[in-house]
Amino acid sequence: MNRVSVEHLTDPAFLASLQPLRIVARRVVRGGRHAEHLSRQRGSGLEFADYRAYTPGDDLRAIDWNIYRRLGRVFVRLFEEQQDLPLYVLPDVSSSLHFEPDSPRARACLQTTLAIASVSLNQHDRVGIFPFAEELRVHEAPTSGKNRVLPIARRLAEVEFKDQTDLCSALRRFGAMNLRQGLCVVVSDFFDQKGADAIVEQLGQLRHRLLLVQLFRKEDRDPDLQGDLRLVDSETGEAENVSVTPELLQRMQTAYDQHQQALVDFARTRSAGFLRIDVDQPIVPQLAQVFEEGALQV
């Protein structure tokens, strides 16, 4: 079966290592639930935001009587509303992540998904999981609750890796869901046959804040291949007969680098996060490097 063992996702040490991590949103849009992220909405939070003149109907408890005593005018104190940041994780479950022995890419993909989801759930955020390959599926509707980590892990273990990557279609479908603005995390190798430009175009149309997590192995760019080879695509099954020469290898690396550069440029211009995770290395330390000082600013 093209699945990842649930033990890889429910390892206590793995889950415990996620506790110090948190995601900090600069602002979240109004309309969410009460949570830990600052909202543009003024409300009953703890952080003082501003004063404004009293108008009938305002909560009398918000009147600042010291101001009234000094100035003789009635003002009410405004506080920052703390709301949740919806998290939408789009893990890539195409067959390109599950063709190698031990499937390190698939395991890393789901661990990364679970890690980010776990961090958000610990912050009382709502988390939705939308795995995709050729199509986008709603695996977990956006809900919150700290106790949902293990159920999500078990559900993720049921995900089957198959079909080709069609990230563009998946992003289009996700954008059409018209979900509340939040943080959209795409966990993928970003190897869509339509190319990096098409991916970037679809990403640019999303209204959410973006975090792009690219899974990679070193041999993706520096393969240890020599001689006459029949390279078979892990997703499409299409084969290319190549005679690997230094020149050809260099051209392949140039194409790979151009693909990467397109994603990096997009992330920079869009102020999106871009994280590369080596699937052959432990996941959490790599995530921790991105969560600078324990928090990821988005």
Residues lying near another protein in the complex (CB under 8 A): 96, 99, 105, 189, 191, 193, 195, 217, 220, 223, 225-236, 238-243, 247-249, 251-256, 259
Complex with another protein: residue 160 or 233, whichever CB lies closer: 233
CB of 219 to another protein, least distance (A): 8
Two structure tokens written together for 235: 């997703």
C-alpha atoms less than 13 angstroms from C-alpha of 288 in its C-beta half-sphere:
11
CB of 91 to another protein, least distance (A): 16
CB of 248 to another protein, least distance (A): 5
Complex with another protein: residue 61 or 230, whichever CB lies closer: 230
Q: Residue 91 and residue 283: Cα distance in Å, rounded? A: 15
Complex with another protein: residue 118 or 202, whichever CB lies closer: 202
36 C-beta neighbours (distance < 10 Å), count: 17
Complex with another protein: residue 238 or 293, whichever CB lies closer: 238
Q: Among candidates 86, 91, 122, which has minimal Cα distance to 109?
A: 91
Decide the pairing of beta strands 209-216 and 239-244.
unpaired
DSSP type of residue 215:
E
Complex with another protein: residue 123 or 202, whichever CB lies closer: 202
Two structure tokens written together for 290: 């991105």
Q: CB–CB of 171/204 below 8 Å?
A: no
CB of 193 to another protein, least distance (A): 6
CB of 281 to another protein, least distance (A): 17
